[in-house]
Each structure stands twice: as C-alpha cells, then as structure tokens.
Amino acid sequence: MSVTIKLSTDVDRERIRRLAELDSKPAPHGDVLVAEVNGRLIAAMGMDGSVVADPFERTASVVTLLRSQVEGRPRRAPRGRRWLSRRVAAS
C-alpha cells in the first residue's frame, strides 16, 4: 500500500470532519497531517497528537507513520514545510 502524508489544507477540513465523525472522535484542529491512499483520506493527526482514522481500514501502521512525522518535526519548519510532503510506503 502506498501512503501519501501531507499537511492538510483548507480543502481537507470537511474530509477530516467526516473522518472524525466516522471514528466517533473530535476532529483535530490547527495544523493537521493527513494520510491518503489512492487519494482517499484514511487517517489524520493534529500536532497535539490527536488522531482520527477510518475504523474500517487497517490504519495502525499509518498512524505510526503520522506519529513519527509529528514527533520528528523540526522545531521550526523550513519554508514551504517540505519536511511534511513526503511519500512513504506502508506495509
């Protein structure tokens, strides 16, 4: 499975809200990392560590990837936040 992790944009807010509703949790606020598979949102994590994920998909490894990105982020993000835009392969 190929997973794309990126920083959410305003366009993603509604998608994150729907995912949170599906997961029966509050949606993360502020800067949020999203994980997509084939363009479909399967998990999202706020910089505070709050997570929502598709309960009908195997997302444990994806959430681990999101967590590693949030915990490993630099203290000051480089211009353009390129450190967030990376494509990773999840098993």
Over 60: is that where the pLDDT of 59 sits? yes
Q: Which pLDDT does position 73 carry in this prediction?
A: 58
Displacement of CA 68 from its chain's centroid (Å): 11
In a domain, 88, yes or no: no
**Number of structural domains the chain divides into:** 1
In a domain, 18, yes or no: yes
51-53 vs 86-89, strand pairing mode: unpaired
Residue found by looking up tokens 């835009």 in the block: 85
Over 50: is that where the pLDDT of 2 sits? yes
Q: Are 84 and 7 in contact (CB under 8 A)?
A: yes
In a domain, 37, yes or no: yes
Residue found by looking up tokens 């502020």 in the block: 30
In a domain, 79, yes or no: no
In a domain, 10, yes or no: yes
pTM: 0.76
Over 80: is that where the pLDDT of 88 sits? no
Per-residue pLDDT averaged across 76-88, rounded?
A: 45
Host domain of residue 25: 2-73
In a domain, 29, yes or no: yes
Q: Are 16 and 28 in contact (CB under 8 A)?
A: yes
Per-residue pLDDT averaged across 23-29, rounded?
A: 95
The CATH number of residue 8's host domain is 3.40.630.30
**C-alpha to C-alpha distance for 60 and 45, rounded to whole angstroms:** 13
